[in-house]
Structure 1
Amino acid sequence: MESVKTLELRVKQCIINRLGLDVSADEIEDDAPLFGEGLGLDSIDALELVIAIGKEFDVAIGDDDMGIFQSVNRICEFIRTARPEL
């Protein structure tokens, strides 16, 4: 089983790589908002993240799950629920 920090770091790296962000993983706070005043992501970014997170962690993200993109913590919570072995 992976450590808690490892999953958060993997999620951050996935976000940075998929969206081509010019920030380091250390600059993204686990509970900071990803949209609006947070990282400033928009709806197009959300669609990119559905694909990236889905592929990277082998999880299905449906329309009802879009609230997971509020923060890194929420994404990790979703992944841990869908894939407890991670």
Structure 2
Amino acid sequence: METIKEKIRLFLHRHVAQAGLDDDQDIFAQGFVNSLFAMQLVLFVEKEFEISIEDDDLDIDNFRSVNAIAQLVARKKAHIQG
């Protein structure tokens, strides 16, 4: 799970002008994410972790923070493997 978080942090650090973003920090509430970046984030998650984000997964709560995204990835990967 930590490797997943590291990859997410790196992606966010490249695109968000916020040093030291906490894993639980709500990137939407902080104003770091606009609609274009939200789509880039979804595409990054799909490509980087080799999962498919379905319509049901597009709940903002799944993308609010590093922890939320990592949990989504872990659930999707468990579903694929199980």
Q: TM-score, normalised by structure 1?
A: 0.73
Q: CA deviation at 1:73?
A: 0.6
Q: CA deviation at 1:62?
A: 2.3
Residue 21 of structure 1: which of 16, 31, 37 is its match?
A: 16
Q: Deviations over 1:54-84 (max 9, x none)?
A: 1000111123212311111110001111113
Partner Cα distance (2:49, 2:13) in 1: 15
Q: Tell me the residue number matched to 1:64.
A: 56
RMSD: 1.9
Q: 1:73 and 2:67 equivalent?
A: yes
Report % sequence identity: 26
Q: TM-score, normalised by structure 2?
A: 0.76
Higher relative contact order (CA 8 A, sep 6+): 2
What is the aligned length?
Answer: 77
Q: What runs of 5+ residues in structure 2 fail to find an aligned partner?
A: none
Q: CA deviation at 1:45?
A: 0.6
Q: Deviations over 1:6-25 (max 9, x none)?
A: 221111112334xx33445x
Q: 1:82 and 2:64 equivalent?
A: no
- Aligned to 1:83, the other structure's residue is in SS state helix
> What letter corresponds to residue 23 of structure 2 in structure 1?
D
Partner Cα distance (2:8, 2:64) in 1: 13
